[in-house]
Chain A
């Protein structure tokens, strides 16, 4: 028992150095690697690379955006138009490295996510639909989409076989937001009166 403690103490003195990468992807100190540098080494220079999720996914609304073309009602009565559209929602994350690329940290993230929450992580989702838009005389109509997103937070734990920037252990906070299962938060049609210039452009 005593011997083991001595070995342990020696190991600590010689080996155990822990680092914590700040959340920003950019280093603020020349002796500290960036989060990006560290995650690029996940399963590509580490003994261990584990993602520890924090809580359940949080469902949030993505940004509203217009999808498809605008329709102009240059007639004197209400018009019904069909607008076909296709819109892609992609993941984003706190380190700016694509989860779609063949990075080890991306694989670790997806495997952990799917094992934990029992549904698939999607990096990108393209929604294609046809939406009917009703416009009154002299109005412009369009379709707005607000996708539903899921946000996951957690921390990567990386062990290096040799000191990396002076440490064997590094922790990297990580947050990723991607398309949520279940599609859209909202798809709505919008209208507004045409401007004079738009009226002038009517045939």
Chain B
């Protein structure tokens, strides 16, 4: 199975927690920290990574046992990866959520192109953090094209000279 972020929906940033939101394009002094939802293609951007992760985690969290139903499952995404424009998890960031953890069966679970609203991160990723059992692969072309590097199986403060500031698409397996 391969899930690609629906590009048509990517531009539709959802406005939540207005007090902490930045605009979708203007980077605040603190940097820009966005959360992308693989299921919906929506993204939210925040001035701090704390706020972005809180939003990502909130989006993955039911409010309690009473919400645990099949209907609510669609909202129970997991974080699958966080990407940073500087080494050691500094600079701007993008946190990606998806419907389920990765399954270790040799198949790419998710694919994410750094295009459209995410183009500012293209050719700018320097450090990565895989979540939810995922391994991360970085590709120098969209659509998982070109010579990839990875898998990054754990927090990686520097992706290495080969793929530093080169990734245009991301695979999760």
Q: CB within 8 Å of B: which residues of A?
A: 1, 4-5, 8, 11-13, 16-20, 29, 31-32, 48, 50, 52-56, 112, 115-117, 153, 155, 157, 159, 165-167, 169, 171, 173
Contact = CB atoms under 8 A, between A and B. Distances in A.
Nearest to B61: A20
3 closest residue pairs by CB, A with B: A20-B61, A20-B57, A18-B60
B133 A13 contact: no
Interface of B: 1, 49-50, 53-54, 57-58, 60-62, 64-66, 68, 70, 73, 76-79, 82, 88-90, 99-101, 103, 105, 107, 129, 131-133, 154-155, 157
B76 A20 contact: no
B155 A18 contact: no
A173 B53 CA distance: 9
B101 A166 contact: no
Q: Which interface residue of B58, B101, B103 has the most chain A CB atoms within 10 A?
A: B101
Q: Chain B binding site: helix, strand, loop or mixed by DSSP?
A: loop
B132 A117 contact: no
Nearest to B63: A29
Contacts of A173: 50, 53-54, 57
Contact of A5 (B1, B50, B62): B1
A166 to B, nearest CB: 5
Contact of B62 (A17, A52, A53, A157): A17
B73 A13 contact: yes
Contact of A17 (B68, B132, B133, B154): B68
Nearest to A23: B54
